[in-house]
Structure 1
């Protein structure tokens, strides 16, 4: 029973960290343990899937009200997920592009990433990523319909958070621990948390197949996301020596985008 209570606590910590949803975390002897944030990474995919569900509901409702153009439903669904997360990952993407877009050394890159101002690389990276995401979702909505596109959002949001957990395990921390946005996450996540995160990802993928998706489409989405996550991991290791919070945000955004692009390419128009 205590174990279940603790896992529930960790899930609430993950919700509090990744979203702006107000939650009350049951404390232990009246105290918050900073290590809970470190351990809560195991539930990041589940929280991501919940964000995807919110976006999917908005997408389906908007598509019913405004069947055309598809961009209305897509942009409203994207706005819903950005509002729900407070632009947490998008901010990391912009900072990563600003810091690593130019030919600067590690120390200068980290200094730029700490700057709250948005530079040209960050603006371009954010604009192009969101535009490509919207275009891919519009193409998917036209080919597959609102329900399948909503399922794609749940999958992509969930699996992209699993990708960040993988980076937390395979990479060391590459930033300055004294200035880490979430210091407990500047420690490596253990194998047990990775196993739980991957189990959540597998459950989401299995749910899509159970909902009628051909396994090849789920595999295409997962393969594209895994490939982009591997590229991000290699890039962050080469430029920074490891991950940072901003780098994880960029990884989430780009792996999510890769999933939509793969599905849009693999889903013939009019196919169920």
Structure 2
């Protein structure tokens, strides 16, 4: 009576082993694709620009693929975090801010690394499956954020970033005036709560909550390391809604 049960257990164990081997093989192929694409992108990149360094980091995916096949999970985890995770986080930021900072990037390498890297991380067989699932969820959400940032920051760049930055209706212009007043009018780190020039000559108490403007004020001050210019304030103000959105 135990013979059929033993046979079923052997078959289940065999199928489990085959599925695990197939899973590792797929993860290794995806990881190798990330590495090969990154290496190729180095030859097309400008020396010592953003894509040059991203390609060097992406080349670490090749040893990660070998470690996956050898079931060296600890080394796989470390190298995957260094290479794939860094690239998944870095590519959306580099591409979105490329026009303003003149970053060089390879769109094909970015697509391959993100599309192949996310499932490769999940399938690579980390000992902590719960941690791998959480990391995969984070990667998917970050990719969605990256696409949104690309649509809101990269594509409209030529129409927004002109000399000076072109803002829309009255409210954005007024918020930027409040930020400039705080940074260039010796009010930092505070934002004014009473505007003597609105509803002149009586003045007006501001009905805008301060946090929205304070974030821009501190962001511009930190980026400029205390040396804030009109151009920096305009750039922070233009990217601000794109990042929040």
Higher relative contact order (CA 8 A, sep 6+): 1
Provide the TM-score with structure 1 as the length reference. Answer: 0.24
Larger radius of gyration: 2
**1 or 2, which has the higher helix percentage?**
1
Provide the TM-score with structure 2 as the length reference. Answer: 0.25
